[in-house]
């Protein structure tokens, strides 16, 4: 069998190399590559959050009283509602990935983004209330942990929200890349899962 | 080989071609050389960025050596420029900043970009037979993020209280506002965070590219060892750089937003946080970092030994397995940096056992190198000399690590110059000389010209002997009890008798630094002058970048995606000699006289 082997560099380059950028793409291959990249990224970012939760654990274990008596308790209700909101947003994202039909997908994407915005609004409400009650970052390890973890998580929500909003606008105009939707879906579910851990560890526990 | 024949070769090649990340060739100057998404250009950008900082880090090292040789005496030439206010004398605060920034710059901003940024970017697509990295744009962002972090470091020098001064480890609470106030330290911590982001981007690219874009026939067990080293490094980077990121982030919050993760005691409100937490976070990252910096060098060495001994690498699979084992174990040993911090003796012994266990896979790698060289027809070109040098220097570093991994010994040696000598043998000498091995070896491919061999050999001997003398000197001083980081060691009477030793070591260090100028001269002269044209394969070796692409490789690397037939170390095969008259055959090269692909004697790992 004669193998098409590149025996060595030649003088001129074949014309097909010069025209490579005009060749049609291969979406299935590209998506698989991008999904692996996204998985590595999320694995990497999961380590960041693991390290933050580890820090929380150590700081809390070293503090005699948690929460301190003279500092406001964290609310449970509003963040609990937020857990439902971000869960619903994730579900809407699943629908955006799976629904047949462009219109329904666009609607699902828009609702996912809207729910993300609701999440941030409620979270902002939680922050302002606690701040007014006197919980400020410089008030010791208890507020340090609270603000560091929630704000850092909210930044991730913000990034995801910007992406979802862009995708929703594009979908409404009928030219969204569904690969991008699925990739941002992975990211969005990740942010949701982190919130679940955060709610359990910071608000409830 | 059979699995390669189930789908027809043209179909495999077509599928591989369809998976390639293609971008239009750049037309403007900016797209081509500045905001390039071509992996080869990005590699060269990392190389320049790294080499410049290597020079800066080296200069800072010379200042430390000056202080230990001639404490209180003004530094000639440099002193007037950098330390004008004190008349060229290194003061205590300046000294602290010098040793801090020497470590940080060398690790994060010099060796990492050269060893991982340059070789990773340049070699991964070329050695696995791809047209570019899986995510070319992310690759560009990785470099520009890195450049921002370097600029932050430079900016930190010009702040009011000067740059960071809390040691390269940036231990809290010294690194908090309590110990090191000032914008300089904040900028340095920010730079660490930003460079971490850059490394993570790079790691995502490296991991994905090797998984997805290997050319048809390039099975995992046919990857050059360099690829294994870089890939495992990328995995460690992806998993553990974020832990450093979290430490840097919390430290930044402590410094700039008044949180109290690492501040404790009198300076803290309500009990405060825990300074020890910083040490945990730092070393959870910090120990894998040691292997992040040495695994690429191990891989390069494995290939170079085989190439220049004209023999297949001894027990390739064993070396791959050992490197994987080291990667896994490296995540389980960080506690040995904290024996003196205080921990449960049981936990300490656990960390000790894992630490000492690492020496088993490490020795497998080293013994395989030795077995590869033994009985080979060795060509003593510059890369081979550097590879042998790396092996010896790293070997010393590894063996002295056993002393430090042992708790009872570590209690005595902790924070002495013995530790400094040890990690310089592994991370500095090992990584730096390993990077030089790679640089001398791939220079012809990157720039298409040959470096001067004679100057290269002079550079090797000065570097090798210099490093040996400097770090053996340090270890001896440390074993005698000299603590590391002392501004003026001789204020302690028991160290005064070590002044002669320190002076001699410093002189060796100055000669070592001067010797690097041979490299600078050789490098600049060849890159910008008229070097001898390299030709596609000057070393007569087997991997794809040499056999299937000219030097330097053109845009999108290959004329067509190569089809890989065998492993990377096909040397000294009598059948090949009979058919081609050469002692080597490339990974993609069909032998004259029919397809030998199914011949077990020619597939890698069995040969």
> Residues A9-60: pLDDT tens digits?
444 677 777 777 777 778 888 899 999 999 999 999 999 999 999 999 999 9
Which of B74-83, B159-168, B383-392, B578-587 holds the top average pLDDT? B383-392
Residue that is written with structure tokens 């179909």 in the block: B11
**For residue A31, which residues of chain B lie inside 8 Å, CB to CB?**
none
pLDDT given for residue A12 in this prediction: 65
* Interface membership of A142 toward B (CB under 8 Å): yes
Distance CA A145, CA B262 (A): 12
Question: What is the mean predicted confidence (pLDDT) over B32-36?
Answer: 91
pLDDT given for residue A14 in this prediction: 76
**For residue A5, which residues of chain B lie inside 8 Å, CB to CB?**
562-563, 565, 588-590
Distance CA B173, CA B192 (A): 17
Distance CA B565, CA B162 (A): 57
> Domains of chain B by range and CATH?
2-547 (1.20.210.10)
Summarize pLDDT for B297-307 with one digit per residue, the tens.
999 999 999 99
Cβ-nearest to B200 among A33, A44, A140: A44
Summarize pLDDT for B91-130 with one digit per residue, the tens.
999 999 999 999 999 999 999 999 999 999 999 999 999 9
Average pLDDT of every residue of chain B? 92
Cβ–Cβ under 8 Å, residues B546 and B536 = yes
Angle, CA of B241, B242 and B248, to the nearest 5°? 95
Token pair, residue A128, equals 């302002």
> In this complex, do A4 and B18 lie within 8 Å of one another by their Cβ atoms?
no
* Interface membership of A184 toward B (CB under 8 Å): no
Cβ–Cβ under 8 Å, residues B275 and B262 = yes
Minimum Cα–Cα distance from B24: chain A residue: A21
> In this complex, do A32 and B536 lie within 8 Å of one another by their Cβ atoms?
no
Interface of A with B in 151-180 (CB under 8 A): 152
Residue A36, CA distances (Å) to A31, A186, B138, B215, B228 in order:
9, 11, 14, 18, 18
Residues B297, B299, B303, B309, CA torsion sign: positive
Q: Given a cut of 90, is residue B343 above it in pLDDT?
A: no
Q: Given a cut of 60, is residue B607 above it in pLDDT?
A: no
**For residue A55, which residues of chain B lie inside 8 Å, CB to CB?**
246, 250, 261, 277, 281
Q: Given a cut of 90, is residue A175 above it in pLDDT?
A: no
pLDDT given for residue B595 in this prediction: 57
B74 — pLDDT class (breaks 50, 70, 90): very high
Distance CA A50, CA B390 (A): 36
Which residues does B399 contact at the CB level (< 8 Å), separation at least 6? none
pLDDT given for residue B406 in this prediction: 92
pLDDT given for residue A3 in this prediction: 38
B258 burial level (CB within 10 Å; 0-12, 13-18, 19+): middle
Can you name the residues that pair with B293 across neighbouring β-strands? Answer: none
pLDDT given for residue B116 in this prediction: 96
Q: When comparing pLDDT for B47 and B594, which is higher?
A: B47
Q: When comparing pLDDT for B59 and B430, which is higher?
A: B59
Q: Given a cut of 90, is residue B184 above it in pLDDT?
A: yes
> In this complex, do B240 and A4 lie within 8 Å of one another by their Cβ atoms?
no
Can you name the residues that pair with B272 across neighbouring β-strands? Answer: B264
Residue B59 CA to chain centroid, in angstroms? 19
Q: When comparing pLDDT for B494 and A27, which is higher?
A: B494
Cβ-nearest to B242 among A10, A14, A44: A44
**For residue B554, which residues of chain A lie inside 8 Å, CB to CB?**
13, 17
pLDDT given for residue B24 in this prediction: 85
Q: Given a cut of 60, is residue A2 above it in pLDDT?
A: no
pLDDT given for residue A68 in this prediction: 86
Q: Given a cut of 90, is residue B593 above it in pLDDT?
A: no
- Determine the residue among A3, A4, A5 to mutate to test chain B binding: the one whose Cβ has the most chain B Cβ atoms within 10 Å: A5
B428 DSSP 8-state letter: I
pLDDT given for residue B214 in this prediction: 96
> In this complex, do A140 and B240 lie within 8 Å of one another by their Cβ atoms?
no
What percentage of chain A reaches a pLDDT higher than 70? 94
> In this complex, do A63 and B240 lie within 8 Å of one another by their Cβ atoms?
no
> In this complex, do A140 and B270 lie within 8 Å of one another by their Cβ atoms?
yes
Minimum Cα–Cα distance from A48: chain B residue: B242
Instruction: Count, in order, helices (H) and strands (E) of chain A.
Output: 6, 0
Distance CA B310, CA B304 (A): 10
pLDDT given for residue B264 in this prediction: 81
B506 φ/ψ angles, rounded to the nearest 5 degrees? -65, -40
B380 — pLDDT class (breaks 50, 70, 90): very high
Question: What is the mean predicted confidence (pLDDT) over B555-583?
Answer: 91
The answer for B452, left when phi > 0, alpha when psi is -120 to 50, beta otherwise, is beta
Residue B7, CA distances (Å) to B2, B15, B193, B604 in order:
10, 11, 46, 21
**For residue A44, which residues of chain B lie inside 8 Å, CB to CB?**
200, 203-204, 238-239, 241-242
Distance CA B572, CA B327 (A): 32
- Determine the residue among A14, A144, A153, A180 to mutate to test chain B binding: the one whose Cβ has the most chain B Cβ atoms within 10 Å: A144
Interface of A with B in 32-71 (CB under 8 A): 32-34, 36-37, 40-41, 43-45, 47-48, 50-52, 54-55, 58-59, 62-64, 68
Summarize pLDDT for A124-155 with one digit per residue, the tens.
999 999 999 999 998 889 999 999 999 999 99
Minimum Cα–Cα distance from A22: chain B residue: B24
* Interface membership of A135 toward B (CB under 8 Å): no
What percentage of chain B reaches a pLDDT higher than 70? 96
- B308 in helix, strand or coil? helix
B595 φ/ψ angles, rounded to the nearest 5 degrees? -75, 120
- B132 in helix, strand or coil? coil
From B381's Cα to the closest Cα of chain A, the distance in A is: 24
pLDDT given for residue B504 in this prediction: 97
Cβ-nearest to A21 among B22, B270, B277: B22
> Domains of chain A by range and CATH?
38-204 (1.20.120.80)
Distance CA A163, CA B332 (A): 37
> In this complex, do A138 and B247 lie within 8 Å of one another by their Cβ atoms?
no
**For residue B550, which residues of chain A lie inside 8 Å, CB to CB?**
9
H or E, element range at B450: strand B449-450
Instruction: Count, in order, helices (H) and strands (E) of chain B.
Output: 23, 2
Angle, CA of A72, A76 and A77, to the nearest 5°? 125
Threshold 0.90, pTM exceeds? yes
H or E, element range at A52: helix A27-62
Cβ–Cβ under 8 Å, residues B390 and B433 = yes
What percentage of chain B reaches a pLDDT higher than 90? 81
pLDDT given for residue A70 in this prediction: 85
Cβ-nearest to A68 among B135, B270, B597: B270
Q: What is the DSSP string of B358-395?
A: HHHHHHHHHHHHHHHHTT------HHHHHHHHHHHHHH
pLDDT given for residue A75 in this prediction: 93
B65 — pLDDT class (breaks 50, 70, 90): very high
């Amino acid at each position: 069998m004669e193998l098409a082997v590149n025996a060595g560099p030649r003088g001129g380059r074949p014309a097909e190399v010069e025209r490579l950028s005009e060749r049609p793409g291969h979406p299935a291959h590209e998506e698989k590559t991008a999904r692996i990249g996204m998985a590595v990224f999320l694995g990497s970012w999961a380590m960041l959050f693991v390290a933050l939760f580890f820090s929380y654990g150590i700081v809390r274990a070293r503090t005699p009283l948690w929460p301190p008596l003279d500092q406001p308790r964290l609310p449970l209700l509003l963040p609990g509602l937020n857990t439902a909101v971000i869960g619903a947003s994730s579900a809407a994202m699943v629908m955006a990935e799976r629904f047949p039909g462009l219109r329904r997908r666009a609607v699902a994407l828009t609702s996912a983004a809207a729910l993300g915005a609701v999440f941030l609004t409620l979270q902002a409400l939680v922050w302002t209330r606690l701040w007014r009650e006197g919980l400020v970052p410089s008030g010791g390890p208890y507020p340090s942990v609270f603000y560091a973890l929630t704000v850092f998580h909210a930044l991730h929500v913000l990034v995801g929200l910007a992406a979802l909003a862009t995708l929703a606008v594009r979908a409404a105009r009928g030219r969204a890349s569904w690969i991008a939707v699925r990739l941002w879906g992975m990211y969005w579910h990740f942010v949701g899962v982190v919130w679940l851990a955060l709610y359990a560890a910071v608000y409830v526990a | 080989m059979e699995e390669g024949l189930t789908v027809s070769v043209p179909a495999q090649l077509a599928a591989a071609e369809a998976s390639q990340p293609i971008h239009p060739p750049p037309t403007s100057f900016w797209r081509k050389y500045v905001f390039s998404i071509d992996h080869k250009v990005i590699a060269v950008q990392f190389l320049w960025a790294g080499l410049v900082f290597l020079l800066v880090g080296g200069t800072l090292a010379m200042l430390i050596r000056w202080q230990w040789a001639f404490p209180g005496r003004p530094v000639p030439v440099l002193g007037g420029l950098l330390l004008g206010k004190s008349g060229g004398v290194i003061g205590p605060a300046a000294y602290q900043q010098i040793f801090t920034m020497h470590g940080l710059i060398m690790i994060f901003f010099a060796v990492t970009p050269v060893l991982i940024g340059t070789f990773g970017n340049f070699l991964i697509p070329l050695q696995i037979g791809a047209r570019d990295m899986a995510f070319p744009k992310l690759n560009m962002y990785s470099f520009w993020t890195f450049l921002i972090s370097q600029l932050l470091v430079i900016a930190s020098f010009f702040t009011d209280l000067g740059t960071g001064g809390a040691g390269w480890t940036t231990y809290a609470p010294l690194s908090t506002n309590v110990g090191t106030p000032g914008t300089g330290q904040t900028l340095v911590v920010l730079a660490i965070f930003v460079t971490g982001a850059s490394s993570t981007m790079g790691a995502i690219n490296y991991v994905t590219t090797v998984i997805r874009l290997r050319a048809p026939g390039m099975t995992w067990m046919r990857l050059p060892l360099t690829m294994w080293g870089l890939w495992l490094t990328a995995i460690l980077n992806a998993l553990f750089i974020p832990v450093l990121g979290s430490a840097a982030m919390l430290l930044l919050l402590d410094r700039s937003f008044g949180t109290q993760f690492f501040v404790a005691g009198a300076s803290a409100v309500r009990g405060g946080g825990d300074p020890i937490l910083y040490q945990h976070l730092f070393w959870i990252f910090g120990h894998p970092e040691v292997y992040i910096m040495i695994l690429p060098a191990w891989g390069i060495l494995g290939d170079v030994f085989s190439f220049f001994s004209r023999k297949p690498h001894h027990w390739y699979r064993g070396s791959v397995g050992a490197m994987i084992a080291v990667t896994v174990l490296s995540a389980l040993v960080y506690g040995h940096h904290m024996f003196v911090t205080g921990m449960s003796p049981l936990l300490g012994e656990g960390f000790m056992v894992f630490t000492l266990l690492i020496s088993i896979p490490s020795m497998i790698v080293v013994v395989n190198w030795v077995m590869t060289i033994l009985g080979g027809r060795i060509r003593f070109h510059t890369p081979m000399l550097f590879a042998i040098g790396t092996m010896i220097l790293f070997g010393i570093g590894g063996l002295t690590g056993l002393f430090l991994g042992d708790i009872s010994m570590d209690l005595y040696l902790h924070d002495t110059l013995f530790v400094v000598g040890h990690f310089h043998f592994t991370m500095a000498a090992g990584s730096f000389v390993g990077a030089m091995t790679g640089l001398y070896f791939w220079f012809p491919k990157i720039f298409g010209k040959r470096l001067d061999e004679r100057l290269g050999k002079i550079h090797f001997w000065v570097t090798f002997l210099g490093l040996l003398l400097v770090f053996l000197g340090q270890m001896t001083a440390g074993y005698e009890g000299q603590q590391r980081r002392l501004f003026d060691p001789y204020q302690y009477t028991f160290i005064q008798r070590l002044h002669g030793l320190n002076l001699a070591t410093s002189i060796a260090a100055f000669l070592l630094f001067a010797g690097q100028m041979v490299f600078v001269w050789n490098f600049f002269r060849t890159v910008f002058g008229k070097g001898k044209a390299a030709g596609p394969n000057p070393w007569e070796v087997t991997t794809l970048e040499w056999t299937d692409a000219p030097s330097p490789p053109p845009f999108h690397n290959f004329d067509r995606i190569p089809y890989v037939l065998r492993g990377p170390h096909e040397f000294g095969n009598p059948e090949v000699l009979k058919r081609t008259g050469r002692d080597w055959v490339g990974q993609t090269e069909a032998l004259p006289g029919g397809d030998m692909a199914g011949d077990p004697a020619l597939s890698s790992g069995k040969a």
